[in-house]
Amino acid sequence: MRHLSIGACVLLAFGLLTSTVQSAETSENSDVVVELISPGEMPRKEIRFQPKSGQTESIIMTMKMDQKITIDGNALPSPATPTQKFTMKVSIKDVASDGDVTSEIEFANIELVDDPQSPSPLGPIMMNLLRPMIGSKGSAVVSNRGLTKKSEFKFNEGLAPQLKLMLDGMMDSVGKISSPVPVEPIGVGGKWKVVQKLTTNGMTLKQISTHELTKRTADGFEITTEISQQADPQEVKSPLLPAGAKMNLESLSTEGKGMSAFRFASIMPAKADSSVASNAAMTVNVNGKDQRVKTETNIVMHFDTPQ
């Protein structure tokens, strides 16, 4: 085979993008800096999450992704992708004396929300791939400031190996939904910046997010967020590549924004909406032949915790 197949290019591009555009936090081995920009109005108070051991809640995450891919300048067919709806059960297993929260996350149900008048041809394929995720569990350790210290997911038997590699990045972000807050007391209008170095799917990138406290009550708070990601040209050590193939990232640029509403009694958002747009260019070399792959990806996500 002198060239990478179209299907393999799509798989590589999708795996790369789903692992980057949705990583909202830091991994255990990543560097993270939370910097206060402005303390905001008076009165100012520290923000700390205070869930209790033994509590359980459900969170519903919906995700809509549209992606355009070109290979050597030729656009691939891009049928509409149905919205994915994940229902997750979150159980607080322990709250340590230093405030660290250990939780378990289970995928209770997965649905596809499609247009009944014009169903996507990808629907049945996606559902067959995603169905084995139901019942899969993971765990996370999050500080009382929303900094994820550790997260891990273990998928059930039957999940396609290629899909598992792609989902690892996406599911890592599910265990890291909380937004890190400053050490210092802040008031409405307070702003802070979070700078992180992330390594995902064999690629290193820098992520900067800015947050603003827009509302605070006795029970919780609301914030707005803007996020950007940049990656230098580099070789990507992706496990999805066939033997002997090499992938070089030429450029990656990601911009996004969102809002989140939190309760102090939970590490999960009561409600959150975000949209992210990402553009990437890469070269895949197989047997000495280069193929240039470009992707444009738009993702809209919504989180809701039923009362």
pTM of the model: 0.85
Residue 160's pLDDT is 67
pLDDT tens-digit profile of 37-81? Answer: 999 999 999 999 999 999 999 999 998 988 899 999 999 888 888
Check pLDDT > 50 for residue 221. yes
Query: Averaged over 266-270, what is the pLDDT?
Result: 90
Q: Where are the domains of the chain?
A: 6-302
* 3-state DSSP of the chain: CCCCCHHHHHHHHHHHHHHHCCCCCCCCCCCEEEEEEECCCCCCECCCCCCCCCCEEEEEEEEEEEEEEEECCEECCCCCCCEEEEEEEEEEEEECCCCCEEEEEEEEEEEEECCCCCCCCCHHHHHHHHHHHCCCEEEEEECCCCCEEEEEEECCCCCCHHHHHHHHHHHHHHCCCCCCCCCCCECCCCEEEEEEEEEECCEEEEEEEEEEEEEECCCEEEEEEEEEEEECCEEECCCCCCCCCEEEEEEEEEEEEEEEEEECCCCCEEEEEEEEEEEEEEEEEECCEEEEEEEEEEEEEEEECCC
The top-scoring range by mean pLDDT among 36-45, 55-64, 83-92, 275-284 is 36-45
